[in-house]
Structure 1
Amino acid sequence: MYELIELFFFAYRDFVGDADRLLEAYGFGRAHHRVLYFVSRRPGLTIAELLEILRITKQSLNRVLRELVDKNFVEIRAGALDRRRRQLYATPDGERLALRLAQVQTRRFASALEQLGDWGEESALAFLTAMIDPQKRAGDAVSRQEPPKRAGQAQ
């Protein structure tokens, strides 16, 4: 098991390292990436929902979110039905950055899965799902549908 643990650390280091280099140009870090990722993937996400997904404190989110808003990557809007509920949306700049980050990470996944052959993606999905605490899986449900294609997005 120690070999798997070690490989997981190294894989994670390289997986996030690809994005880290891109984020540096904006003065952003991994927390910014996580927020931008989920806001981009789930337009209209509320702050409360984002806190639940990331399992961080409101104080931790506020700093990161404020920077993303101030640099025009995320916008906060009053909810359509309940104006007290603040909903998050990626701006066009935020969508572009989220796409660039996803592209570098998608390339790494695609390369690794290609090396594993036909069973690779199914096994990887099963393994990563099994790594999530079973009581928390429902809240962490991953959308199995393709994200909507955006202007300039690779097919």
Structure 2
Amino acid sequence: MRMSEPGAGGESLLFLTDEQLRKGIEAMFFAYRGFTADPDRILDGMHYGRAHHRALHFIHRSPGTTVNNLLNILGVTKQSLNRVLRGLIEDGLVDSRVGKEDKRERHLFLTERGAELERALSDAQRARMRAAYRAAGPAAVQGFRQVLEAMMDPEMKRQYLALKEGGV
């Protein structure tokens, strides 16, 4: 039975009320607060924020990624990303290397210290996700991913799928 059919989960998801949608939106807000709380605590003592966390995550995910690629993934301004990267590089967490083929490109890699910090941040989030996934069960996990992917703009979904497949 498809989730959009009447009887799936007790109600048809094709005809969600504004109240049901509001509850979903609020659940996303509070879940995001929980999802970011542990990394925020780790980063707070280091005077870093979520932008630093996201940069570390995607540099770890795609070692050697370019600054321009990271700009596209994060959707931030060049000035904002430069400020974040400057701090991470100065603190010895990220290494920026000149491109071999295009000297204008800068390729980003985590240093050993950067990889340790990224691992601590990710471990905290994985523990929370693992517990939530276990509590919800496999069907809910698959449905959750489908909902998240359906909410992505086409370009974001393309980038996500490229990461998922090991590209980018």
- Give the TM-score normalised by structure 1: 0.88
- In 2, Cα distance between the equivalents of 1:16 and 1:126? 21
Alpha-carbon distance, 1:144 to partner: 3.6
Task: Extract unaligned runs of 5+ from structure 1.
Answer: 147-155
Q: What is the Cα-based RMSD across aligned positions, in Å?
A: 1.5
- Counterpart of 2:87, as a letter, is E
Alpha-carbon distance, 1:80 to partner: 2.1
- Counterpart of 2:76, as a letter, is I
- Counterpart of 1:97, as a letter, is L
2:63 corresponds, among 37, 43, 46, to 43
- Give the TM-score normalised by structure 2: 0.82
- Counterpart of 2:29, as a letter, is F
1:126 corresponds, among 123, 130, 146, to 146
- Relative to 1, partners in 2 of residues 1:108 and 1:33: Cα closer, same or farther, differing over 3 Å? same
Task: Extract unaligned runs of 5+ from structure 2.
Answer: 1-20
Rg bigger for which structure? 2
The number of equivalent residue pairs is 146
Q: Residue 137 of structure 1 aligns to a residue in which SS?
A: helix
Alpha-carbon distance, 1:43 to partner: 0.4
2:76 corresponds, among 44, 56, 60, to 56
Q: Identity of counterpart residues, as a percentage?
A: 40
1:122-148 Cα distance to aligned partner (Å, 9 max, x none): 1221111111113431123253469xx
Q: Does 1:18 align with 2:38?
A: yes
Q: Which residue of 2 aligns with 1:115?
A: 135
- Given that 1:75 and 1:90 are in contact with CA atoms closer than 8 Å, whether structure 2 keeps it comes out as yes
- In 2, Cα distance between the equivalents of 1:110 and 1:10? 17
Q: Which residue of 1 aligns with 2:158?
A: 138
- In 2, Cα distance between the equivalents of 1:88 and 1:135? 22
- Given that 1:19 and 1:101 are in contact with CA atoms closer than 8 Å, whether structure 2 keeps it comes out as yes
- Given that 1:114 and 1:120 are in contact with CA atoms closer than 8 Å, whether structure 2 keeps it comes out as no
